[in-house]
Structure 1
Amino acid sequence: MSDDTTSEAYAQRLQQREGARWKQLLDVQRPYRWNLRRLGLGRTLDVGCGIGRNLTTLPSGSLGVDHNPSSIAVAQSRGLDAVTTDEFDARHPQPPAQPEYDSLLLSHVLEHMTRDEGIGLLERYLPFVRRTVAVICPQERGYTTDATHVTFLDGRDIAGMLEQVGLRTRSVRSFPFPRFAGKAFTYNETVVLADRP
C-alpha cells in the first residue's frame, strides 16, 4: 500500500474498497448517500473527490476536483464531471467575479493534511462558493485505518478551522451513530456545516 494519495496505487485501493462484494451486497453506502442528499448542498464543488463516490449523489452541475490523476480518470470513466487540480487551475486562473457553486464539500480530505494545509485548501476554493461548506471527517477508529491520515480532527477542530476562514458554523453532527461510537465503529463520521456570513 502506498502512503501517497497522489499515486495510482491509492486510486486502485479506493476502487478495491468501494467494490468489495460484501459492501455491494449490503449497499453499505446507502445511509451515507441519504445523509449527503439531506444536507441540501445544491451545485457542489467536491474537492478531494477521489474516484467520485460522492459525485454520484450530488446534484447535476457539481464538479469534482482531486490531485490524483488516476482517481480523476476513474471518476471520468464513470461519466462524472471531475478534473485534476491542475485542470481546475487552468479553467480558473483567477477567482470568479461571482461564485459558481452553492457549496464546497471536503469529504475525508482534511485528515490527510496538516491544519495549516487544510486552512490553505479552504481559502483556495472558498471564492468559488456562494453559501455553504460541508466537511466530513472520520472519527477515531476510522482515522486509524489509513496510513495517509495526518491529522485527527474532531467537530470542534473542524468548526475552528471553518471559523478561521470567516465562516459561521451551522451544525456539528456525528453520523450514522452517536459520537461515542466513533471510538469503535470505523465508518462513523463527523459532519460539520458552515455558512458564509
Structure 2
Amino acid sequence: MSDTRSADYTKRLTRLETSGIKRLLPTQAPYRWNLRRLKLGRVLDVGCGLGRNLLNCSPQSVGVDHNAHSVATCRERGLTAYTPDELAEAPDCGPGSFDSLLCAHVLEHMDEALAVDVLAQYLPLVKPGGKVVLITPQEAGYKTDATHVRFVGFEELREHAETAKVAVARTYSFPFPRPVGKVFPYNEFVLVGTLPA
C-alpha cells in the first residue's frame, strides 16, 4: 500500500486520465451517470485519489486520501479534500455529517484487515440510515495496477458490508454484465447498502 502514497502514483493517475481512447471519447460518462442516479447527497469519498468521482458528487462532498499529492491535486481542481489527519480536524466533518460514503477502487489496494479498519474509521461520519457504496474492479481491471493486493468481488464486498453492519440493498456489475469484466478493464463490482437508522 505504501506505493499509493507517492508522488509517482499521483502522476500515474494523472497520466491515465487522458491516455488512449480517453482523449477522444467521454469514457467517464457512464460512471458519472451511475453516481448521479444513486442520489448520494453529501458524500465522503474515501480514497478519493485525484477527485474523479468527487467531481460528480454534490458540491458539499468531501474527499479523503492518504496520498497528500493526490489531495493537493483535488484542491487544485477546486474540490474539498483532506488527508486523514486533516479530516479529523475539519469542523464540518464530524460524526453523522455525511449522507453517504463512497469507497471506489480502494479496497483492492489493501489486505482484508486494513480494509475493515478503514471502513470502521469512516463509517461513523455517515448519518444513521445513510448510504454506503463500495466499488472494485473486476478481473481485467484488477490486473492493470501493480498496487492491487487483493481481488475483491461480490462475495468479499458482501463480507465487508456484513462486518461493517451495512445492510446490502443491491449488488450489480457496471457498466456491462459480469462476464465482460474478464476482458474489459473498466467493468466494476458495485455494492449499495445502508447503515442502520
**Residue number in structure 1 paired with 2:16:** 17
Structure 1 residue 134: Cα displacement: 0.2
Structure 1 residue 22: Cα displacement: 2.9
Superposed CA RMSD: 1.6
Instruction: Tell me whether 21-30 or 129-138 shows the greater mean CA deviation.
Output: 21-30
- Where do 1:89-128 residues align within 5 Å? 89-91=88-90, 96=95, 99-128=96-125
Runs of 4+ in 1 over 6 A off after TM superposition: none
**Residue number in structure 2 paired with 1:183:** 182
**Residue number in structure 2 paired with 1:37:** 36
* Contact 1:3–1:147, Cα closer than 8 Å, also in 2: no
Q: Percent identity?
A: 48
TM-score by length of 1: 0.94
1:79-106 C-alpha deviation (Å, 9 max, x unpaired): 01111112112337x953xx00000000
Q: How many residues align?
A: 193
SS in structure 1 opposite 2:55?
A: coil
Unaligned 5+ residue runs, structure 1?
none
Structure 1 residue 17: Cα displacement: 0.3
Structure 1 residue 108: Cα displacement: 0.2
**Residue number in structure 1 paired with 2:148:** 149
TM-score by length of 2: 0.94
Q: Provide closer, same or farther for how the CA distance between residues 84 and 33 of structure 1 changes in structure 2, counting only shifts above 3 A.
A: same
SS in structure 1 opposite 2:5?
A: coil
Question: Aligned AA for 1:109?
Answer: V
Structure 1 residue 40: Cα displacement: 1.1
